[in-house]
Amino acid sequence: MRNFFILVAALLCFTVTLGQQVSYVQYRQVPLDRQQEFVEKETKYWAKVAKAAIDKGLMEHWSLWRKIGTTNMDGPNYAFVNRYASLESIDQEAIWSDENVAAMGANPADVETQSFAPTFMDYWFQIDAVVPGNSKYALVNYAMPVNRGAFIEENKELWMPMHKKNIEAGNFGMSSWATMSVIYPAGNNARFSVVTVDGFNSMHDAMNYLSYQPETELDADFAAVISKSKMNEINPDGFNYSILYELVHSVDREE
Structural domain of 72 = 8-247
| 2, part of any domain | no
End-to-end CA distance of the chain: 19
Distances, alpha carbon 165 to alpha carbons 179, 197, 221, 226, in Å: 16, 16, 9, 16
| 170, part of any domain | yes
**Phi, psi dihedral angles at 200 (to 5 degrees):** -140, 155
Confidence band (pLDDT; 50, 70, 90) for 11? very low
**How is residue 93 annotated by DSSP?**
G
Dump pLDDT digits (tens) for 56-78. Answer: 999 999 999 999 997 777 899 99
Confidence band (pLDDT; 50, 70, 90) for 230? very high
CA atoms within 13 A on the CB side of 15: 6
| 3, part of any domain | no
Q: Return the CATH number at 78.
A: 3.30.70.100
| 1, part of any domain | no
| 217, part of any domain | yes
Task: Give the total number of structural domains in the chain.
Answer: 1
| 254, part of any domain | no
State yes or no: pLDDT of 220 exceeds 90. no
pTM: 0.89
Q: Average pLDDT of the chain? A: 89
| 30, part of any domain | yes
| 89, part of any domain | yes
